[in-house]
Amino acid sequence: MQKYGLIGYPLRHSFSIGYFNEKFKSENIDAEYVNFEIPNINDFMEVIEENPNLCGLNVTIPYKEQVIPFLDELDKDTAKIGAVNVIKIIRQPKGKVKLVGYNSDIIGFTQSIEPLLQPHHKKALILGTGGASKAVYRGLANLGIESVFVSRTKKESSYLTYDELTPEIMQEYTIIVNCTPVGMYPKVDFCPDIPYDQLTPNHLLYDLLYNPNETLFMKKGEAHGAVTKNGLEMLLLQAFAAWEIWNK
């Protein structure tokens, strides 16, 4: 039986374990998906060595960047953003193992937002600067869209702060992607601090959150005629992409 899994810490809840085990059951695939809750990234190679039938892993917080030194190779997009959420495990002769890192968030996000794009969607604001935001930046770049990160503090000269979101910038940047946890259940009465009164029907607001189904960020966008979408489809598409990576 093939084995797949997730590494992270802590792993209180995991979309992947439910999704993949249901997939294996419904499609009669002889495989199982398990969670590997490792308190330290140095335990990573133990997981590989102790599970000889392990074919692939998903990676979640806090190991998306920490796992990279253990890998033999990175996909080119993944190398550019420096964050891994899928590992393909290639078993070679004489017990050797090759570990290749990918980022399926790039694929999931790109496939999810692309059908919503209109000719006037040329520039994007990315709210947040974590690992997910880097995947979004790369995905938008692959679609020919110029992006700027927005953070609470001036982390880099090229970044904007929320205080710097002038009416001119809001008019120019018609895609806004929320990559922060602000507005996630149970704190549903919160939203990123952008000037919502500057939004128009030309704006597209994409929230990586999917719980609740409609965040306050999305509601405020819709109140000004903006198109909105949550991150549930991206979550599913990145899972499809992970399965394709493991099996191609």
Tokens 């496939």 found at: 111
Catalytic one among 3, 64, 88, 134?
A: 64
Read off the tokens for 213.
Answer: 């189904």
> Helical H runs in the chain?
15-26, 44-50, 76-81, 104-113, 131-142, 167-172, 216-223, 232-247
How many whole angstroms separate alpha carbon 8 and alpha carbon 59?
6
Spatial neighbors of 197 by CB under 8 A, at least 6 apart, are 224
Asked if 64 is an active-site residue, the reply is yes
Q: Residue 69, Cβ neighbours under 10 Å: how many?
A: 8
| Residues taking part in catalysis | 64
